[in-house]
């Protein structure tokens, strides 16, 4: 062993610790970057190789840089983010949909319906009155407006959700393309920054769509949804959304472009809004339509049997062609002349209110899906309320699960300032010591030189 | 476990946000006095409260119906009372007319008096309550139900009931129709008395005393029936009012905030929030840099 070797060790030691400090600086610089995974220098190789340093030809490559990953937590997170994404995207829209009904306020259908029945009762108390007829008409107009308003609000929410679906599909495709191109780059250079960037994109993607991620030996990932491959190597299959109209409301289908197949979108933000678009909105409206249609038909049926003060009978109270909440309205003739509102049976005296009473009594009749109109409406509302409540509850618990996993991942992969600063001191001291070694060896050499 | 700065920050933020959102929820509850703002705040409570308030709205309508019916019944019975008074006046006159000591002139003037009473009776029978003929069946707006044609009273109303709905199961008829009045024989008795007095027919005068008494009895019977209708209305009203008190309580149980409880919870949340803020400020201030040279 020559003194020159010790110079060499000193030099390498200086360089290694300089590299380590460099890495520490990098860790500190990226402390707040999302998806950054802390890096560490593995210095073992340097010390292990020391005795045979000259023969082994050990170089700086011995200092392996390692990304400190917590693979299990990462994979678990990608899975849990999918559910979180779904609940998150549903949450706001669902409460908007609930607020459309304005319950429990005076503008809510519940109250408007009650006022409508009460107006009929007031008319029954004074069937000769034209003022009370006008009140019945006005209340019925409010009822019609309320039905119409809810329906059109739901329709415009659906249009608003449509653009949100398109945006989400675009952002999914964008992510898929980026992951594909990073895949290609990674096979060429195994850059850690690229890996960080790709993992972050997969996290973003998992918030939007249910995906399965498989990592290959060469660093590439394969991403699939519902068993169908979206990204494999540089190959990317994008999604597309197509809208069709079914009845009164639109339906959306998500398909994979190249293979023209419709995957089952179960979770992720896309699933949340697609479900609301395709199920919650049309289902709720179908029920409201049923209420509007049955109500109009039943009131008309009774009203046609009755007669007004001039013994005119056979008139519809609501328009005869009401098919749902959107075209629920009064008979045009009644709007123009509330005098046509029937209160008595044909042939009875004008003081009789048998028909007005019969219509007021419909409030208690179970003619909408074996429930009274008010109860049927309440059941629509409480059903929607349950969906919202359940989603909020799931959102809360899912947030906690994700938070816990994030903590687990952070505990391994996150940058800790305390740790980095301590390591920096450690490396700095080692660096000083290495410099001292060189100084000492220099002294040794001087001693030798002075001997001659 | 390794704890990094990012973990502390994100956990602290989440905890603070949780506290904030609890406080906002409680604050809203305290400010509005309601714990139920949407159906999703409690779907079961919501549907229960809705059902109760539907019932309440319906009951309030029944109370309005009862009040209206009570007005009609009161108007009818005061008119019946007046009719009974007229019949009693007529009976007095008949007794005076039956006295053998008076002469034909006085009987004639008594007869004219009875004619006046008959007119009054007729106008009572044709009377209105808020613009509606009371004794006309359902022909409430078709002119006078009673008219006199010589010695005949003609009833042009009908025998339809006027009904009011006073509870979910009960619809009651609140009117006395003209036919019922005719059937008491009150008009006939008056006409007979008048004619007997005018024609100085003493025998018939004594006969019509009984006739008038009989008619009075029948009118009183009708008034009694009506009084029991009025009684029923009162009972129904009391019952519904009692039910409404309960309904209001049930609705309040489902919808309203227990203020004491909400305030206590709010205090607790506030303490937790302050503690979280303080500890967060302290922990986040700690840095190894402070201890390095």
In a domain, B42, yes or no: no
* Contact between chains at B64 and A122 (C-beta distance less than 8 A): yes
Residues B102 and B217 occupy one common structural domain: yes
Contact status of B64 with chain A (Cβ, < 8 Å): yes
* Contact between chains at A354 and B163 (C-beta distance less than 8 A): yes
Residue A52 has pLDDT above 50, yes or no: no
Residues B129 and B180 occupy one common structural domain: yes
Per residue of chain B (293 residues), give pLDDT as tens.
Answer: 888 888 888 888 988 999 999 999 999 999 999 988 889 999 999 999 999 999 999 999 999 999 999 999 999 999 999 999 999 999 999 999 988 888 889 999 999 999 999 999 999 999 999 889 999 999 998 889 999 987 889 999 999 999 999 998 899 999 999 999 999 999 999 999 999 999 988 888 988 999 999 999 999 999 999 999 999 999 999 999 999 999 999 999 999 999 999 999 999 999 999 999 999 888 888 888 888 77
Residues B99 and B171 occupy one common structural domain: yes
Token pair of A297, please?
């038909």
Using CB atoms, pick whichever of B47, B130, B141 lies closest to residue A350. B141
Torsion of CA A171, A175, A180, A181, to 10 degrees: 100
In a domain, B180, yes or no: yes
Task: Name the residue with higher pLDDT: A292 or A11.
Answer: A292
Residues B27 and B101 occupy one common structural domain: no
Q: How far apart are CA A273 and CA A250, in angstroms?
A: 13
Partners of residue A212 on adjacent β-strands: A224
* Contact between chains at B51 and A425 (C-beta distance less than 8 A): no
In a domain, B54, yes or no: no
In a domain, B246, yes or no: yes
Token pair of B291, please?
């201890």
Using CB atoms, pick whichever of B46, B138, B165 lies closest to residue A381. B46
In a domain, B261, yes or no: yes
Q: Give the count of alpha carbons within 13 A of A294, CB side only.
A: 20
Q: Which pTM does this prediction carry? A: 0.85
Helices A192-208 & A71-99, crossing angle to 10 degrees?
Answer: 30
Mean pLDDT of A60-78: 77
Residues B243 and B265 occupy one common structural domain: no
Would you place residue A59 in the very low, low, confident or very high pLDDT band (cuts 50, 70, 90)?
Answer: very low
Would you place residue A55 in the very low, low, confident or very high pLDDT band (cuts 50, 70, 90)?
Answer: very low
Residues B246 and B282 occupy one common structural domain: no
Q: How far apart are CA A414 and CA A322, in angstroms?
A: 62
Residues B101 and B212 occupy one common structural domain: yes
In a domain, B52, yes or no: no
Contacts of A117 (CB under 8 A, 6+ apart): A360, A362, A363, B58, B61
Give the domain range for residue B262. Answer: 5-35+256-291
Residues B94 and B184 occupy one common structural domain: yes
Residue A54 has pLDDT above 70, yes or no: no
Residues B260 and B238 occupy one common structural domain: no
Tens digit of each residue's pLDDT (9 = 90 or more) over A92-112: 999 999 999 988 888 999 999
Residue A172 has pLDDT above 50, yes or no: yes
Residues B246 and B262 occupy one common structural domain: no
How many structural domains comprise chain B? 2
* Contact between chains at A416 and B47 (C-beta distance less than 8 A): no
pLDDT at A44: 56
In a domain, B64, yes or no: no
pLDDT at B1: 80
Between A and B, how many CB-CB pairs are < 8 A? 183
In a domain, B16, yes or no: yes
ipTM confidence: 0.85
Residues B244 and B277 occupy one common structural domain: no
Tens digit of each residue's pLDDT (9 = 90 or more) over A228-245: 999 999 999 999 999 998
Contact status of B188 with chain A (Cβ, < 8 Å): no
* Contact between chains at B38 and A99 (C-beta distance less than 8 A): yes
pLDDT at A1: 61
Contacts of B175 (CB under 8 A, 6+ apart): B72, B76, B134, B135, B137, B161, B162
Residues B85 and B146 occupy one common structural domain: yes
DSSP string, A315-382: --SB-TT--SSTT--B-HHHHH-GGG---EETTS-TT--HHHHHHHHGGG---BTTB-HHHHHHHHHH
């Amino acid at each position: 062993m020559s003194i020159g070797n010790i110079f060499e060790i000193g030099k390498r030691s200086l360089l290694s610790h300089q590299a380590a400090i460099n890495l520490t600086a990098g860790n500190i610089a990226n402390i707040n970057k999302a998806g950054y995974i802390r890096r560490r220098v593995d210095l073992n190789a340097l010390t292990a190789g020391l005795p045979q340093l000259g023969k082994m030809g050990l170089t700086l490559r011995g200092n392996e840089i390692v990304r400190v990953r917590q693979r299990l937590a990462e994979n678990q997170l990608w899975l849990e983010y999918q559910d979180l994404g779904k609940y998150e995207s549903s949450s706001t829209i669902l409460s908007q949909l609930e607020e459309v009904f304005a319950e429990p306020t005076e503008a809510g259908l519940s109250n408007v319906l009650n006022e409508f029945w009460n107006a009929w009762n007031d008319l029954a108390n004074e069937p000769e009155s034209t003022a009370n007829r006008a009140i019945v008409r006005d209340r019925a107009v409010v009822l019609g407006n309320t039905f119409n308003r809810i329906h059109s609000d739901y329709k415009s929410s659906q249009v608003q959700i449509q653009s949100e679906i398109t945006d989400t599909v675009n952002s999914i495709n964008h992510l898929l393309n980026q992951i594909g191109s990073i895949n290609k780059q990674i096979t060429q250079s195994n850059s850690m920054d690229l890996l960080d960037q790709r993992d972050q994109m997969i996290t973003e993607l998992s918030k939007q769509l249910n995906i399965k991620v498989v990592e290959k030996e060469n660093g590439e990932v394969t991403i699939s949804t519902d068993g169908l491959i979206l990204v494999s190597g540089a190959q990317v299959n994008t999604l597309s959304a197509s809208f069709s109209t079914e009845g009164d409301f639109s339906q959306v289908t998500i398909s994979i472009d190249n293979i023209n197949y419709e995957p089952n979108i179960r979770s992720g933000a896309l699933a949340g809004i697609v479900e609301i678009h395709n199920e919650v909105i049309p289902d709720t409206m179908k029920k409201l339509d049923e209420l509007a249609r049955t109500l109009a038909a039943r009131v008309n049926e009774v009203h046609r049997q009755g007669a007004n003060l001039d013994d005119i009978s056979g008139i519809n109270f609501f328009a005869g062609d009401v098919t749902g909440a959107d075209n629920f309205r009064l008979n045009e003739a009644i709007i123009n002349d509330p005098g046509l509102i029937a209160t008595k049976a044909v042939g009875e005296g004008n003081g009789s209110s048998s028909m007005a009473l019969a219509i007021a009594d419909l409030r208690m009749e179970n003619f909408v899906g074996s429930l009274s109109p008010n109860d049927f409406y309440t059941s629509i509302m409480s059903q929607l309320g349950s969906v919202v409540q359940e989603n909020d509850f799931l959102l809360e618990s899912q947030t906690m699960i994700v938070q816990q996993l994030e903590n687990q991942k952070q505990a391994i992969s996150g940058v800790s300032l305390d740790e980095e600063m301590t390591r920096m001191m450690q490396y700095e001291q080692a660096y000083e010591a290495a410099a001292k070694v060189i100084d000492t060896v220099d002294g040794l050499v001087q001693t030798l030189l002075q001997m001659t | 476990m390794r704890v990094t700065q990012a973990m502390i920050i994100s956990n602290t933020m989440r905890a603070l946000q949780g506290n904030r959102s609890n406080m906002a929820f409680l604050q809203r509850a305290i400010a509005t006095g309601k714990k139920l703002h949407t159906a999703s705040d409690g779907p079961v409570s919501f549907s229960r409260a809705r059902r109760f308030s539907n019932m309440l709205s319906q009951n309030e309508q029944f109370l309005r119906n009862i009040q209206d019916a009570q007005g009609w019944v009161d108007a009818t019975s005061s008119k019946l009372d007046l009719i009974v008074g007229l019949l009693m006046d007529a009976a007095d006159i008949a007794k005076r007319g039956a006295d053998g000591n008076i002469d034909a002139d006085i009987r004639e003037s008594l007869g004219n008096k009875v004619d006046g009473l008959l007119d009054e009776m007729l106008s009572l029978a044709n009377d209105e309550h808020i613009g509606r003929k009371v004794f006309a069946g359902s022909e409430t707006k078709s002119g006078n139900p009673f008219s006199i044609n010589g010695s005949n009273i003609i009833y042009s109303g009908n025998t339809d009931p006027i009904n009011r709905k006073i509870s979910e199961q009960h619809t009651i008829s609140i009117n006395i129709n003209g036919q019922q009045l005719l059937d008491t024989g009150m008009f006939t008795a008056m006409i007979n008395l008048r004619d007997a007095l005018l024609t100085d027919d003493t025998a018939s005068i004594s006969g019509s005393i009984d006739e008038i008494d009989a008619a009075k009895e029948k009118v009183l019977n009708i008034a009694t029936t009506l009084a029991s209708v009025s009684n029923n209305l009162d009972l129904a009203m009391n019952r519904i009012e009692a039910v409404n008190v309960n309904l209001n309580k049930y609705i309040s149980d489902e919808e309203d905030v227990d203020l004491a409880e909400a305030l206590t919870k709010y205090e607790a949340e506030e303490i937790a929030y302050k503690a979280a803020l303080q500890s967060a400020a302290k922990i986040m201030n700690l840095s190894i840099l402070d201890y390095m040279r």
